[in-house]
């Protein structure tokens, strides 16, 4: 497999994708590994591939129709059901911290869900269990995707690659 779960589980790692489909593949593998509660911050310019990666993660989390996964530009938060609840937030239009309070982020963060936030760089704080995906456009269809866990030691949200579906890393 191109994007091995071992590599995806490291505290940080960089991946190159050469097409949107490859970014979806990467997201799908990642989505298979993660468990709620988890915040995924997706950072990068417009057109970098944040929504594309989000689609893949949603598919890996069990959302059957990837076309359901689109940037929630007007409602700000979309909700999908996979093997867990998934929230998809897009902060493109967010300008102030006051707005952040008004979109109901706090409520969804209390839920046992995977919360994916596009324009994650606009969030002025960080959660203990979160995964940061920084996407840069290398030109053409090439993208660099840097994944890092904010708290690799304490995360209890990702399965060990060898543990298959039942056992989770936890403490």
Residues that bind ligand ADP (CB under 6 A): 17-20, 22-23, 44, 46-52, 118, 141, 143
- Residue whose C-beta lies closest to ligand ADP: 49
For strands 12-17 and 142-149, give the pairing. Answer: antiparallel
Q: Is the peptide bond before 56 cis (omega within 30 degrees of 0)?
A: no
When the beta carbons of 100 and 135 are compared against Mg ion, the nearer one is 135
93-132 footprint of Mg ion as x/- string (CB under 5 A): -------------------------x--------------
When the beta carbons of 145 and 157 are compared against Mg ion, the nearer one is 145
Answer with the entry of ligand ADP, Mg ion, none that 27 interacts with (C-beta below 5 to 8 A by kind): none
The C-alpha atoms of residue 88 and residue 54 are separated, in whole angstroms, by 8
CB of 144 to Mg ion, least distance (A): 17
Using CB under 5 A, pick the residue from 50, 143, 155, 159 that binds Mg ion: 50
Task: Print burial letters for 4-27: b (CB count within 10 Å at least 16), e (below 16).
Answer: ebeebbeeeeebebeebebbbbbb
DSSP state of 11: S
């Amino acid at each position: 497999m191109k994007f091995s779960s071992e590599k995806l589980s490291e505290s940080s790692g960089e991946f190159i994708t050469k097409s949107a489909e490859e970014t979806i593949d990467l997201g799908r593998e990642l989505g298979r590994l993660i468990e709620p509660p988890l915040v995924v911050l997706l950072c990068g310019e417009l057109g970098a591939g944040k929504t594309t990666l989000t689609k893949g993660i949603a598919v890996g989390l069990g959302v059957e129709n990837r076309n359901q996964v689109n940037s929630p530009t007007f409602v700000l938060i979309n909700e999908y059901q996979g093997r867990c609840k998934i929230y998809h937030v897009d902060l493109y239009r967010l300008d102030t911290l006051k707005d952040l309070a008004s979109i109901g982020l706090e409520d969804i963060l209390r839920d046992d869900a995977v919360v994916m936030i596009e324009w994650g760089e606009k969030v002025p704080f960080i959660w203990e269990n979160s995964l940061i995906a920084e996407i840069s456009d290398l030109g053409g269809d090439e993208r660099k995707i840097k994944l890092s866990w904010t708290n690799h030691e304490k995360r209890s949200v990702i399965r060990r690659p060898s543990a298959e579906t039942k056992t989770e890393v936890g403490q």
